[in-house]
Amino acid sequence: MKITKTLLTALSVTIMFASCKKESNNTTVAPSHRASIMFINGCAGTTQASGSFSGTVVSGATAVNLFSSSGYQYITLDTLYPAVPITFKTTSGTLLKDTTYACIENVHYTALLGGTLAKPSISFTKDELGGMTGGKAKIRFANLTGDLPNAAFEYGTTAQLNLIFSGVNPSQITSFAEVDPGTMTFCAYDPANKTATIRYFGLRQIEGGKYYTVFLSGTATGTANYNLQLTQVDNTP
């Protein structure tokens, strides 16, 4: 009986040692972490676009309609290879535009497809969500046009619009600015040609405690889906 117990003990130690040794051999495998990306389609001339991360189409961003977003979608990070491609493609798989970025776990990001189908652009930004005063909202502006330099953005009531951002060039995204919530109106335009380029987005409900992106897309001389247009997206996680 004593011999049996001794053999069992020795066998247990051997199994434990083998298990530990096997685990130590897996230290070369990078731990997986998660971040989230929102894909926004503001590319004039497209109907839909798919967002990819590290060569794989993100399941919740397979066909993002023009003037729409995917909402935040979780992606898995690899700490051994942090800088990976973020890509927009057509739904048939044709590359539209890509960039490379090293995302950080537990952080929100936004990828924006802009420009035109013939000349697309991509913008990618870390979303600074936090530090909001109680009862306020936060808003930012993205210029996704193909040809409108130095765009300006105003926000307020129909009776009083206030300049919030100016000098925003194509493919640029501003930081978030704190604003009053309510039923608001906003507009964007080229100050050098305001009458011809101004676009309004009126009577929008902006809620306190939320984050919004407003983007201007299209071209200054475009028609139909190429016409200048303002679109509002909710960036609240």
Side chain identity at 122, as an amino acid letter? I
- Structure confidence at residue 32 (pLDDT): 57
- Please say whether the beta carbons of 151 and 188 come within 8 A: yes
Q: What is the mean pLDDT of the chain?
A: 88
Mind listing the pLDDT tens digit for each residue in 164-207?
999 999 999 999 999 999 999 999 999 999 999 999 999 999 99
Least confident range from 41-55, 72-86, 164-178, 196-210: namely: 72-86
| 2.60.40.2890, 1.20.1260.10, 3.30.930.10, 3.90.1720.10: CATH of 131-237 | 2.60.40.2890
- Closest residue by Cα to residue 152 from 169, 127, 171, 139: 169
pLDDT tens digits for range 98-109: 999 999 999 999
Q: What mean pLDDT comes out for the span 16-20?
A: 40
Q: How far apart are CA 86 and CA 53, in angstroms?
A: 5
